[in-house]
Structure 1
Amino acid sequence: MKVLAICGSLRAKSSNKGLLRCAQANAPEGMQISIADLSQIPFYNADITEQPAAVKQLLAQMAEADAFIFGGPEYNYSISPALKNAIDWASRVEGNTIFAGKAVALMGAGGGMGTSRAQYHLRQVCVFVDLHPLNKPEVFANAFAGGFDADGNVIDEKIKENVRTQLVALADWSKKISS
């Protein structure tokens, strides 16, 4: 099972990228997780008639994916621009062949409640692009409570276990909805 993880934070030492690296390191047997690079993706603009190379690469990775993991910070109670922009580019592919009918797990690290509000907004976006979010378990990590090191890596065993549990559920969910 090929899973593409997409992080809404562009920071190298982001705790959200750390969550995705944790997922990559803890993938269950049979699951391969790649992490997309959004650093060179321009904002979607319908006036751009030829897709930039970075967009073509991202869309190719998305098309190959059997499922997705979206991880990202919460900006002003909502989705980060980088993550929303990646979804916007993919949503313009004719026939919605990149997302339609595929499973997605959501995770995020932020203050207090993690990224709960952003994840709920992200679920609304998933409805429009015909992605099927995994309902449970949810991964909301507090990025400022000692669960991450200075480089954004997960060091808390409870967070690691939450990520592992979510990955197993994602594999099961993806199989269920694709059959």
Structure 2
Amino acid sequence: MSAIKIAVLIGSLRKESLNHKLAKALERLAPHEFSFEHVRIDNLPFYNQDFDSDYPPVCRQLKEQIKSADALLFVTPEYNRSVPGVLKNAIDIASRPYGASAFAGKAGAVAGISVGATGTALAQQHLRNILAYLDVPLMGQPEVFVKYSDGLIDQDGNIGVESTKKFLQEFVDRYVDWVRRHVHT
């Protein structure tokens, strides 16, 4: 089977981001033919509709990186019960102008980790609403709302708790099947 390229959008800019660790853990559980490319979102200007007639180069680069991917993986924290602004801004840039979304038709999944008891449930629900509008077919189950604890996942994506590893492997296996059903390779 030929390689399948996944664009990974992480909604956190923090150096020690838990969601970056989770993304790496998910990547490590995927088969070798899946390659993961983290999409840079920390260098983007705030979306402005004036871009629609002449996108800045960094915005064009974002759109091209997403367009060239076969599928999408969103890994996000929850800020004030919603999607972090930096992730929403990247989505707004890559989905505009109307009718020229880089996301349309690309299979995706959403996951997140937090120190809070409810994980990232509300942020993920908001993100799912946004992505549904943008014509991204999202995997529905299993939902991944991981509550972080020390030793759960290290910087390299190694998972230190066997039950978490098993659950995340089930998520990745379903995601792999989901992507394969939607990608024509």
TM-score (norm 1): 0.88
2:10 equivalent to 1:7:
yes
2:68 equivalent to 1:64:
yes
Distance 1:98 1:41, change over 3 A: same
2:108 equivalent to 1:108:
no
Partner residue, 2:137: 132
Distance 1:97 1:114, change over 3 A: same
Instruction: Check whether the contact 1:7–1:16 (CA below 8 A) recurs between aligned residues.
Output: yes
Deviations 1:2-35 (A, max 9, x none): 1111000011210001111112222223211111
Aligned residues: 178
Partner residue, 1:25: 28
| Structure 1: distance between partners of 2:181 and 2:74 | 20
Distance 1:24 1:53, change over 3 A: farther
Alignment map for 1:153-164 (pairs within 5 Å): 153=157, 154-164=159-169
Cα RMSD of the aligned pairs, angstroms, is 2.1
Instruction: Check whether the contact 1:104–1:132 (CA below 8 A) recurs between aligned residues.
Output: yes
Deviations 1:86-118 (A, max 9, x none): 111111045345222221111101111110111
Could you tell me which runs of 5 or more consecutive residues in structure 2 were left unpaired when the two chains were aligned.
none
Q: Indicate the percent of aligned positions where both proteins have the same amino acid.
A: 36
Secondary structure of 1:18's counterpart equals: helix
Letter in 1 for 2:76: G
Alignment map for 1:89-100 (pairs within 5 Å): 89-93=93-97, 95-100=99-104
2:71 equivalent to 1:51:
no
2:37 corresponds, among 24, 34, 37, to 34
1:174 corresponds, among 157, 179, 183, to 179
Secondary structure of 2:171's counterpart equals: helix
Letter in 2 for 1:159: T
Instruction: Check whether the contact 1:27–1:33 (CA below 8 A) recurs between aligned residues.
Output: no
Instruction: Check whether the contact 1:20–1:35 (CA below 8 A) recurs between aligned residues.
Output: no
Instruction: Check whether the contact 1:103–1:170 (CA below 8 A) recurs between aligned residues.
Output: no
Where in structure 1 do 4 or more consecutive aligned residues deviate above 6 Å? none
Could you tell me which runs of 5 or more consecutive residues in structure 1 were left unpaired when the two chains were aligned.
none
Partner residue, 2:84: 80
Distance 1:39 1:97, change over 3 A: closer
